[in-house]
Amino acid sequence: MSSRRNIILTGFSGTGKSRVAAEVARILGWELADTDADIVRREGKEIGEIFSEKGEEFFRLLEKEALIRACDAEGRVVATGGGVLMDADNRRLLFDSGLVVGLEARPETIYQRLSTEGQGRSPEERPMLAGDDPLARIRSLKAERQPFYSLAQWVVQTDDLSEGQVAAEVVRAWQMLGGRMDSSGDGDPELAAVVTHSRGSCPIRVGWGLLDRIGEGFRASGIDGPVYIITDDNVFPLYGRQAQRSLQRAEIEAHCFIIPAGEESKSWEMANAIYHWLASRRAERRHTILAVGGGVVGDLAGFVAATYLRGMPFVQAPTSMAAMVDASIGGKTAVNLPEAKNLVGAFYQPQMVLADPHTLTTLGRRELSEGWAEAIKHGFIMDADLVSVFEDHASELMGLEPELSTEVIRRSMAIKAEVVSQDERETLGKRVLLNYGHTIGHAIEATTGYGDWMHGEGVSVGMMGAAELSRRMGMIDGDVVRRQGELLRRFNLPLKAEGLDVEQIFSAMSLDKKSTGGAIRWVLLEEVGRATTSRDVPPEQVREVVEGLL
């Protein structure tokens, strides 16, 4: 089995190999190698011209040489010509150097794509479109090559997918077939996961000191500015300015809008102020919005990006624990209304998420603790081993030991990314599990005016309520409830919200976005590491549990 050092795209002309390879290279942070483009650059002629002037045999020699050059290094995404697999030596070289992914399409789709791309181009540039029946020619040539295309280790049917969606499938193949980044040094060691979604994909990168290199990351991803940084007055002097300077070192124009820190800024009025600022800067749809801060900044900036000019590219650079492991991933953007949190918003995926755990070293213990609540939640709903890591290393994690903290954050972010990839818009039920503890937690935040209680603190109390409901429903025993409580306590998180008004909590819970016909969809535990949902929780049990928490 190959060491999977590279990703090689094969397939018939018109399946999108070159553009998909460029997008995969962007996602993974790898180098792009395109054999046809290499030949054209070296010969100074289009492929069709080389065929007509010097014949196919000469071209195939050039192709073999280009292939050898493309595969002489690691961490490359290689786009190959449509006939490259016909040669046995080429096949050996490709399969020895990486994962071979075939891009497929129906002859009719290929004909349509080549016809559209070939408008205004000469027959020499698009030789397959020459002749009286180009569709028949495509069918015949594709059938001849199909046995060789079928040798690919993974195949993506591209007919009904965008180039971004095809690229996401290629990355998924790489991750599933042994190519996930590890200590071997292959690829980008900072790539934690990739969110695949309806519009393409979003790489998640985690690295100590990554924020100071954000300009390099933007350049590598093809973002050349201008960039509009949205941050708050606590984060700006520490990290907003740092991000701006990094962008400027990369010769990317960058401007900052600074909001007051706190949940109160996640409002329609603040969004409107940012709209006017963008208009005054003459922001364009191709420009990029960068959120540098915690969940409030990310939600607000994402909402603005989703709605200004009907959508601008958007990048998340979370600087709080809760934003890293939860809010920055998944494309949920929103502003609050007085009645409840996040009532006005949109699903809008970021282009990428860049998390630098070093930024957490300036957080207070309370802010750090509330962020760990979301990561602990991930363990209880999906990863029992992660719960054990928290139990065994609570003091090191609260002390932000760099290597361990980075790995746990990376692991928690990967859990969130996997869930979002499977259920982007919370329609299949999988993503709802991420709301464990949130029904009661959000109600606590809303009742206290989004100021006295931090999000993770509310979630911590909500997790205790959900665990107790799970026990009363006969799904878990009291030991699990006590185990969860003890772990949350070790991270200085509250288990109760004493003194709050019960009726106000129930009023806020009635506005829960997971409610249908007034029935709340509760996320409950079946065991440590596995959760489920239920709308059949008796109201009297809910009232008793909530009263007990207050």
Question: Do residues 265 and 300 touch, judged by C-beta distance below 8 A?
Answer: yes
Asked about 547 being catalytic, the answer comes back as no
Tell me which DSSP letter residue 293 carries: E
Distance CA 268, CA 296 (A): 13
Q: Which of 442, 445, 457, 468 is flagged as catalytic? A: 442
Asked about 442 being catalytic, the answer comes back as yes
Please give the C-alpha separations between residue 268 and each of 58, 236, 372, 477, in angstroms, as whole numbers.
64, 22, 29, 44
Q: Is 549 helix (H, G, I), strand (E, B) or coil?
A: helix
Asked about 426 being catalytic, the answer comes back as yes
Helices 502-509 and 539-549: crossing angle, nearest 10°?
130
Q: Which of 426, 445, 457, 468 is flagged as catalytic? A: 426
Tokens found for residue 215: 């300009």
Please give the C-alpha separations between residue 536 and each of 203, 436, 519, in angstroms, as whole numbers.
38, 16, 8
Question: Do residues 501 and 492 touch, judged by C-beta distance below 8 A?
Answer: no
Where are the extended beta strands (E) located within 171-281?
191-197, 200-206, 227-232, 254-259
Q: Which of 126, 287, 455, 471 is flagged as catalytic? A: 455
* Side-chain half-sphere CA neighbours of 24 within 13 A: 30
Q: How many CB atoms lie within 10 A of CB 163?
A: 16
Q: How many CB atoms lie within 10 A of CB 56?
A: 12
Q: Which of 5, 410, 431, 471 is flagged as catalytic? A: 431
Q: Which of 5, 197, 438, 471 is flagged as catalytic? A: 438
- Interior angle at CA 304, CA 450 and CA 290, nearest 5: 95
* CA neighbor of 525 nearest in space, from 414, 387, 393: 387
Region of residue 140 (phi > 0: left; psi between -120 and 50: alpha; otherwise: beta):
alpha
Distance CA 44, CA 367 (A): 59
Q: Which of 332, 377, 410, 411 is flagged as catalytic? A: 332
Asked about 197 being catalytic, the answer comes back as no
Asked about 374 being catalytic, the answer comes back as yes
* CA neighbor of 270 nearest in space, from 299, 228, 313: 299
Q: How many CB atoms lie within 10 A of CB 258?
A: 17
* Side-chain half-sphere CA neighbours of 48 within 13 A: 12
Q: How many CB atoms lie within 10 A of CB 269?
A: 9
Asked about 266 being catalytic, the answer comes back as no
Asked about 514 being catalytic, the answer comes back as no
Beta bridge partners of 314: 289
Asked about 358 being catalytic, the answer comes back as no
Q: Is 144 helix (H, G, I), strand (E, B) or coil?
A: helix
Question: Do residues 142 and 80 touch, judged by C-beta distance below 8 A?
Answer: no
Tokens found for residue 472: 């009363």
Q: Which of 263, 287, 435, 468 is flagged as catalytic? A: 435
Q: Which of 126, 287, 416, 471 is flagged as catalytic? A: 416
Helix runs in 150-193, H state only:
163-174
Element (H, E) at 341: strand 340-347
Tell me which DSSP letter residue 435 carries: G
Q: Which of 57, 269, 310, 503 is flagged as catalytic? A: 310
Residues taking part in catalysis: 310, 332, 374, 416, 426, 431, 435, 438, 442, 455
